[in-house]
Amino acid sequence: MGGSAALPFAPKRSLVRTQYRPPSARERTVRNAARLRAVSRSMTTIGLIGAGNIGSAIARRAVAAGYDVVLSNSRGPETLGDLVSELGPHASAATAAEAAAAGDLVVVTIPLKSIGAVPVEPLRGKTVIDTNNYYPQRDGQIAELDDETSTTSELLQAHLPESHVVKAFNNIFHVFIGTLARPAGDPERSVLAIAGDDADAKAEAAAFIGDVGFDAHDIGPLAEGWRYQRDLPAYAGLYFDDDGNARPVDAALLDDKLAQAQRYRDM
């Protein structure tokens, strides 16, 4: 079949782009193969910029998986003593720039309004996982997000042009990062969506996500990250049931919710 010429109408570019294409079985196999184990072995330290609800939940899982973590926040390392004590000898606190420099992989998990303060230079060339969401009442109005010409993770990518941003962990309530984590192969292991523009960075993110208890589900480039942004079917409610209890999510369920994603302007 000869593409759009065979269709009764020529689809508009925007229509083509809004169709979600789930990853193929081959793509999943590549992500879940021995490569991820090798990538995982090359990473020992996770830097965290932000150590609140999500940062501390990810740090707990990272330490449990055998990583060292370097935590940071806006107030300074001396304010992170309790969390460092709780996490034990594999955790330390530093400035954001030091955490960025220390991490083989770095997680940025702060209010979106603060991403301009994320240190650029020490993150050069690194994979950066972005957990951030846009809440105008907290972050103020951001024109590119209001008119949907960009996405939260693309804003961070623009701030970090020589880093490789991968969107992940933004659509799961922080408590459930602990509750839903399962070892590889467990029938109740959940998937977490990832989006990014760099295949190696996505492999690093997937390896880390795998180590902390989830299968990464690659949904495409960073620009597709809107599909699991605030208030959409693949956002936080996906991971809990009607009673508010954690609910495991498999790839088919995530794909189904991603396919239902609508732009805010069309809602």
Q: What residue ranges bind ligand NAP (CB under 6 A)? A: 49-55, 72-75, 96, 109-112, 114, 117, 131-133, 170, 173-174
Shortest Å, Cβ 61 to ligand NAP:
14
Q: Which residues contact 41 (CB under 8 A, 6 or more apart)?
A: none
CA dist 210 and 183 (Å) reads: 8
- Where does 65-128 have alpha helices with state H? 81-87, 96-102
Report the residue number, 39 or 100, with the smaller CB distance to ligand NAP. 100
> How many alpha carbons lie under 13 Å from residue 50 in its C-beta half-sphere?
23
Report the residue number, 50 or 196, with the smaller CB distance to ligand NAP. 50
CA dist 28 and 220 (Å) reads: 12
Output the DSSP codes for 164-192. EEEE-STTS-HHHHHHS---TT-TTPPEE
Output the DSSP codes for 179-239. HS---TT-TTPPEEEEEES-HHHHHHHHHHHHHTT-EEEE--SGGGGGGGSTTSTTSGGGG
Report the residue number, 39 or 169, with the smaller CB distance to ligand NAP. 169
Shortest Å, Cβ 235 to ligand NAP:
9
Which residue, judged by CB position, is nearest to ligand NAP in the bound state?
52
Shortest Å, Cβ 153 to ligand NAP:
11
Burial class (CB in 10 A: 0-12, 13-18, 19+), 62: buried
Shortest Å, Cβ 54 to ligand NAP:
4
Shortest Å, Cβ 101 to ligand NAP:
14
Shortest Å, Cβ 155 to ligand NAP:
11
Shortest Å, Cβ 229 to ligand NAP:
10
